[in-house]
């Protein structure tokens, strides 16, 4: 590799590392090891860069090696170069190095928890050595050579590639980037906000909020980012991704958000945020109904207890409870949330009667990994503008989609059109309509999009006089043709 490394070069090289692992472990597990090794190399290379800078500045090796002189400390014996000195038991030595780094740097505690190279049947020394050599071909991943934005972008590229490679399972940790972008464009984060994702996966939504401020020429470091994720592997990937973007102070907790929310006030109540956004698992089964039906200990069941096999409204109510009195949120839901009856219908009715739902944006089908069904984005605002009260904007974006053989997607134009429709908050033919709450009540609080917005133009009006005239002309032509045919038959001796 040259001294200057481009983003496409970095992406291609990192993706090729998966080829080295093929046949040794399941494809769905590639990401844990590749992400872990990439993160480890970055930590080691930056530590060495900082060490060299301190030596040049102070000429003191002891001072240059002190933990407080480094963003993340890599203890002696735990460096990449230390591991490369041996050709045996490489996996075990990597594991020891990972634990040592976690112990020395609390901010990375747990990120290597499920990156285990010690199994020699899965990871023989030759395989790990080949993988490390492949990473070394990139050259040093120092700040001077590869800035945080480039490395972070390459990391996001890998997350998307692994989600695509994993197919159905990819949806467990990745939301398509343009869907996230649409949600952020709708909410429009502002400097100084607290932002929370209760199902944060690999951290993509929080990252896009951070990047949105950067693009606006504002200070993204003024944001306070929070998240919680149940899956250990996914949580670790999200932590690494944020740290590689130089976002050190995001508070990403690990655990079951519905049964064990971690972001609490000192008195044990839920923390509240300026903005909440999420793509929770669709219609999650066994989400915690047994606990909630006896009264949720955090008071999130204000609008009712969702059914046992559909956890969508549990996440929605958690998000509402996590909003400040002036807060706004956006959540991805399956279309069934908009119209299903029973307990869900009662919860939806109460949310509408409380005038919390500001907009519903329907999306086209096959946008998400793991499901081809269409989804929608529900926007909730605890402090609606006066002119939006007792109203809901319905946006039917089912046709604003680009089709592909395996996975449909939103283009930049789609994102711009749909987000603009929300901000304009007015009727737009074949796309959007501001619906009075009284009309929604007349429809039994059913938010089925097609009830309010049709995406096909109505048939042209029928000109009855013109159609009657056309019918008479055709009848006359038919009668003339019949008379001619009868004449020919008589000449031939038929019909006598």
- Give pLDDT tens digits for 286-298: 899 999 999 999 9
Q: How many Å apart are CA 23 and CA 176, to the nearest integer?
A: 28
7-166 fold: Ferritin (1.20.1260)
Tell me the domain boundaries of the chain: 7-166, 177-451, 462-495
Instruction: Give every strand in the sheet of 224-229, ordered side by side.
Output: 251-254, 224-229, 194-197, 273-278, 323-334, 375-381, 357-362, 391-396, 432-436
Closest CA to 117 of 235, 36, 41, 234: 36
The two structure tokens encoding residue 478: 């038919």
Closest by CA to 33, choosing from 119, 152, 157, 141, is: 119
For 81-119, write each residue's pLDDT tens digit: 999 998 899 999 999 999 999 999 988 999 998 899 998
What's the gap between Cα 417 and its chain centre? 20
Q: What is the pLDDT of residue 78?
A: 96
Burial class (CB in 10 A: 0-12, 13-18, 19+), 456: exposed
- pTM comes to 0.87
Q: Which of 388, 327, 334, 318 lies closest to 358 in space, CA to CA?
A: 388
Looking at residues 468-487, what average pLDDT do you find?
Answer: 87
Tell me the pLDDT band of 495, cut-offs 50, 70 and 90: low
Homologous superfamily assigned to 177-451? Vaccinia Virus protein VP39 (3.40.50.150)
Mean pLDDT of 256-270: 97
φ/ψ bin of 89: left (φ > 0), alpha (ψ from -120 to 50), beta (otherwise): left
Residues 248, 236, 412, 193, Cα dihedral to 10°: -40
Q: Which helix (H) or strand (E) holds 1?
A: none
Range list of β-strands (E), 291-441: 323-334, 357-362, 375-381, 391-396, 432-436
Average pLDDT, the chain: 91
Q: What is the pLDDT of residue 85?
A: 93
- How many other CB atoms are found less than 10 A from the CB of residue 362? 24
Collapsing DSSP to helix, strand or coil, 131 comes out as helix
Return the pLDDT at 458: 66
**Distance from chain centroid for Cα 115:** 23
Whole-angstrom Cα distance, residue 376 to residue 371? 13
Return phi, psi of residue 251, to 5°: -105, 95
* pLDDT attached to residue 346: 98
């Amino acid at each position: 590799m040259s001294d200057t490394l481009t983003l496409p070069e970095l992406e291609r090289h990192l993706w090729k590392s998966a080829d080295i692992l093929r046949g040794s472990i399941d494809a769905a597990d590639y990401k844990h090891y590749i992400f872990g090794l990439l993160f480890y190399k970055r930590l080691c290379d930056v530590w060495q860069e900082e060490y060299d800078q301190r030596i040049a500045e102070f000429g003191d090796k002891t001072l240059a090696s002190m933990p407080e002189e480094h963003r993340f400390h890599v203890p002696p014996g735990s460096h990449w170069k230390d591991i490369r000195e041996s050709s045996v038991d490489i996996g075990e030595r990597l594991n020891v190095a990972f634990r040592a780094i976690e112990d020395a740097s609390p901010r990375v505690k747990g990120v290597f928890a499920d990156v285990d190279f010690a199994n020699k049947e899965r990871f023989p020394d030759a395989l790990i050595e080949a993988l490390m050599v492949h990473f070394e071909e990139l050259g040093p991943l120092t700040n001077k050579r590869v800035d945080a934005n480039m490395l972070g972008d390459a990391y996001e590229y890998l997350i998307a590639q692994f989600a695509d490679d994993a197919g159905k399972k990819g949806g467990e940790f990745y939301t398509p980037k343009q869907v996230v972008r649409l949600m952020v464009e709708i909410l429009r984060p502002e400097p100084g906000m607290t932002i929370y994702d209760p199902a944060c996966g690999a951290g993509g939504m929080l990252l896009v909020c951070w990047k949105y401020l950067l693009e606006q020429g504002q200070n993204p470091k003024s944001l306070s980012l929070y998240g919680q994720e149940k899956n250990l592997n996914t949580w670790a990937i999200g932590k690494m991704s944020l740290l590689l973007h130089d976002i050190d102070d995001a508070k990403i907790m690990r655990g079951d958000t519905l049964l064990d929310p971690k972001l609490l006030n000192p008195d044990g109540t839920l923390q509240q945020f300026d903005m909440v956004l999420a793509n929770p698992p669709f219609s999650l089964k066994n989400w915690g109904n047994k606990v909630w039906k006896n009264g949720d200990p955090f008071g999130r069941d204000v609008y009712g207890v969702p059914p046992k096999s559909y956890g969508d409204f549990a996440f929605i109510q958690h998000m509402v409870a996590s909003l400040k009195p002036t807060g706004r949120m956006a959540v991805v839901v399956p279309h069934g949330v908009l119209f299903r009856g029973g307990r869900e219908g009662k919860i939806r009715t109460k949310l509408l009667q409380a005038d919390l739902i500001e907009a519903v944006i329907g999306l086209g089908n096959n946008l998400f990994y793991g499901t081809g069904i269409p989804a929608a984005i529900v926007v909730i605002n605890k402090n609606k503008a006066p002119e939006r009260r007792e109203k809901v904007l319905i946006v039917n974006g089912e046709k604003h989609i680009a089709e592909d053989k395996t996975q449909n997607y939103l283009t930049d134009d789609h994102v711009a059109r749909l987000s603009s429709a929300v901000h304009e908050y007015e009727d737009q033919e074949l796309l959007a309509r501001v619906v009075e709450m009284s009309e929604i009540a007349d429809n039994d609080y059913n938010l089925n999009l097609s009830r309010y917005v049709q995406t096909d133009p109505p048939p042209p009006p029928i000109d009855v006089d013109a159609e009657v005239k056309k019918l008479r002309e055709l009848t006359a032509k038919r009668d003339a043709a019949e008379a001619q045919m009868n004449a020919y038959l008589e000449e031939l001796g038929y019909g006598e």
